[in-house]
Amino acid sequence: MKVLIAVEDEQFLGELSSFMAAYPWPAESEFHVLHVCLPVKVGSFMSVLPGPLLENISKERLKAGELLVDQVKNVIDSVQNSAEIKVEVVEGLPKEEILDRAVSLKASLIVMGSHRRSVSDLMIGNVTQAVVSNAPCCVLVIPLSHRKNIDNTCGGKEPHKII
């Protein structure tokens, strides 16, 4: 089984650890951990910064992404110590990069999180929605903790769960 794990940020680590420890992965599972750094967009406020400064920002984003995928690799290795685990950090648009990697890896499963930032995201974000809608394989969405966003999205009340 080839599993593509798309990681956005450190918030994913806790839920990922719990999921990876509880799921009965086949012995021959291969894991590919992917983090996508957004490029500096033309027309954004960052595009007016001098070239060397933009290069440093891109390098720092990539370095932070490398630390993140290494943390995820360590989490997976702690519960699946005999599995093959590859890590990759790329720059691009997350939904496109995730879908491209799923195709090129011939992934059996994509594992990703969803922050559920607001009601307008309809419980999953735009990237998650695009991946779920267009993936060439199964997609498992881990709902990430949203305690920080409760006050903003639900007036301080717990959101209703969809069953």
Q: What is the pLDDT confidence band of residue 49, given thresholds at 50, 70 and 90?
A: low
Averaged confidence pLDDT in the chain: 78
* Residue 160 included in any domain: no
* Residue 159 included in any domain: no
* Residue 44 included in any domain: yes
Residue 109 sits in a domain whose CATH number is: 3.40.50.620
Q: What is the pLDDT confidence band of residue 18, given thresholds at 50, 70 and 90?
A: confident
* Residue 51 included in any domain: yes
Question: For the chain, how many structural domains are there in total?
Answer: 1
Give pLDDT tens digits for 84-94: 999 999 999 99
Helices (H), the chain: 12-22, 51-79, 94-105, 126-134, 150-154
Q: Which of 42, 133, 142 is nearest to 95 (CA)?
A: 133
Q: By residue range, what is the domain housing residue 147? A: 2-154
Q: What local confidence, expressed as pLDDT, does residue 139 receive?
A: 96
* Residue 36 included in any domain: yes
Q: What is the pLDDT confidence band of residue 158, given thresholds at 50, 70 and 90?
A: very low
* Residue 162 included in any domain: no
* Residue 163 included in any domain: no
Give pLDDT tens digits for 105-145: 999 999 998 866 554 444 456 888 899 999 999 999 988 76
